Amino acid sequence: MLGQTFQKKIEASSKRNKSKVILALDLEHTDKNILFSKCLEILEKVVSSVCAVKVNRHLILPLDLYDGVKRIITVIHDMGLPTIMDCKINDIGHTNKVIAKHYFDAGFDALIANPFIGWEGGLAPVFELAEKRGKGVILLTYMSHKGAWEGYGQKVLDDSGTERFQYLVFAEKALQWKAAGVIVGATYPEKIREVNSILKGEVSVYSPGVGVQGGKIKEALVAGTNYFIIGRSIIKAEDPYRAVMLFNDIVGSH
């Protein structure tokens, strides 16, 4: 299956660290050196208590992909953790392939893509490249913010002409395209439950939105979330390690 290598990596680190928490390393600072140092500081504190690290443009833009970020990826890999690039790929196929190649070349084990653009001339080249290189592609299915319903929650006609919710169609695409995972916000446990009923455990559910955005781990876990993407509640905590462990304890007690 596409993304199997990535899936094995995250499953192994999850089991080793007894964690289903993915650190969203979305730090901000105007000074590049301070930003880089803060990243390393947070990583050192939580390395033994998370199962992966997600990077967004918070780091790519100020630190540069092949300079600062690639160095951070190397550190993360040396710590035994897989990395996810939250690039939300959303362009035509040729451009998407170039984007994916750069992120994979920099060392990312998986990336996040937007299924709105479709397969042919859209995401097909990304999935093909990922398969060749043993990487993963995770599809946005229902985001965690309040306005997600305007896009992912709209009603559309599926291939048979039946009116359905967009996020349910995307869940089926994830199965069809053999995605490594789907993103469904922890802020919408009912959506997680619906998506999970389609995936039937064949594709993992990744849920952002815990903490600052109001998502509850217990509710998302019961609904079917496999991994939790958590950023501000950890990186802005006085004690990041303790913050992660509190989340781990909730998952472990379920």
- What CATH number is associated with residue 180? 3.20.20.70
Distance CA 28, CA 209 (A): 18
Distance CA 246, CA 254 (A): 13
- Closest by CA position to 85, among listed 66, 57, 47: 57
Q: Residue 188: what pLDDT?
A: 92
Q: Is residue 101 annotated as part of the catalytic site, yes or no?
A: no
- Residue 57's CB is within 10 A of a number of other CB atoms, namely 12
Distance CA 158, CA 166 (A): 9
Instruction: Label residue 2 by pLDDT band (50, 70, 90).
Output: low
Q: Residue 215: what pLDDT?
A: 82
pLDDT in tens, 135-174: 999 999 999 998 888 888 899 887 788 899 999 999 999 9
H or E stretch covering 199? helix 189-199
Q: Residue 1: what pLDDT?
A: 43
Distance CA 43, CA 24 (A): 11
Share of the chain above pLDDT 70, in %: 98
Q: Residue 97: what pLDDT?
A: 98
pLDDT in tens, 57-111: 999 999 999 999 999 999 999 999 999 999 999 999 999 999 999 999 999 999 9
Count up the domains in the chain and report the number.
Answer: 1
Please state the rounded mean pLDDT for residues 38-42.
Answer: 97
Q: Which of 88, 101, 178, 216 is catalytic?
A: 88
**Domain coverage including residue 20:** 4-253
Beta strands 155-157 and 204-208, pairing class: unpaired
pLDDT in tens, 187-225: 999 999 999 999 999 999 999 988 878 788 999 999 999
- Give CA separation, 90 vs 128, 140, 172, 246, 250, in Å: 16, 11, 19, 35, 35
Q: Are 85 and 103 in contact (CB under 8 A)?
A: yes
Q: Residue 254: what pLDDT?
A: 61
Please enumerate in sequence order all residues whose Cβ is within 8 A of that of 190, keeping only pairs 6 or more positions apart, or say none: 223
Distance CA 148, CA 104 (A): 28
- 3-state SS, residue 80: coil
